[in-house]
Amino acid sequence: MAKTATLIGASGLIGSHLLQLLLEDPFFDTVRILVRRKSGISHPKLEQKIVDFHDNDSLLIAIDNSDVVFCSVGTTQKKVKGNKEAYRKVDFDIPVKMARFSKMTGCETYILVSAAGANSKSRNFYLKLKGEVEDVVQSTGIHSVYIMRPSMLLGHREEFRFGEKLITPIARAISFLLPSKYKPIKAEAVAKAMIRAAKKNEEGFFVWEYREIKN
């Protein structure tokens, strides 16, 4: 049976791997990406929907008839210049809105990239925000929801992050000392896990951390 996958966050580290894997996977006959501008990628299976993430009507139309929606969108403190309200508009508003619209349009599976340690009761802004997103997504009542909670992501980024470049080799070296859920993991492994989860389509709310993602 033909399947349509919709991806939000296709230009990111996980999203770029996920897009390539979806295009190569015969399980999906249509791969739709929601973008602010054309990506420059061309493929017979690919549909590119130019959207305004503040325009609810265009978003509803863009994800209609999706069998699975993947959301790997996210920003950084650097991009928003430390503005927590601007950060929240990306990392909270978009994934929550897309989950609600997925439910409204009858999409059965929603798969979201969160973060290791996400907890709506955390005192840490980032972890609290991610936890709040998870809580709202769980409440939508979508048939099948998978939350991916990777820790430090390994892989090549187009964007240079000095702190990450500094910490990554250290994290690799001491990985064996870290609790499993905080071990560094390749972005491609997360993308593969998301596709694996999408094919399960099990009813319920599932959280995958390092061990589940690696399996």
Residue 167: Cβ within 10 Å count: 13
Per domain, the residue ranges of the chain are 4-214
Q: What is the pLDDT of residues 67-101, one digit of tens each?
A: 999 999 998 888 999 899 999 999 999 999 999 99
> At how many degrees (to 10) do helices 56-63 and 94-104 cross?
60
| Residues forming the active site | 126, 130
What topology is assigned to 4-214 in CATH?
Rossmann fold (3.40.50)
d(CA 62, CA 51): 8
Lowest mean pLDDT among 46-60, 154-168, 197-211: 154-168
Percent of the chain with pLDDT over 90: 79
Among 22, 29, 24, 25, which residue's Cα sits nearest to residue 8?
Answer: 22
d(CA 172, CA 168): 6
pLDDT score of 123 more than 90: yes
Give the model's pLDDT for residue 157.
Answer: 53
Give the model's pLDDT for residue 160.
Answer: 46
Q: What is the mean pLDDT of residues 168-181?
A: 62
How high does pLDDT run on average in the chain? 91
pLDDT score of 106 more than 80: yes
d(CA 102, CA 67): 9
Give the model's pLDDT for residue 151.
Answer: 94
d(CA 136, CA 149): 16
> Which tokens in the block code for residue 185?
């993991």
Give the model's pLDDT for residue 182.
Answer: 87
Give the model's pLDDT for residue 142.
Answer: 97
Q: What is the pLDDT of residues 6-65, one digit of tens each?
A: 999 999 999 999 999 999 999 999 999 999 998 889 999 999 999 999 999 999 999 999
pLDDT score of 204 more than 50: yes
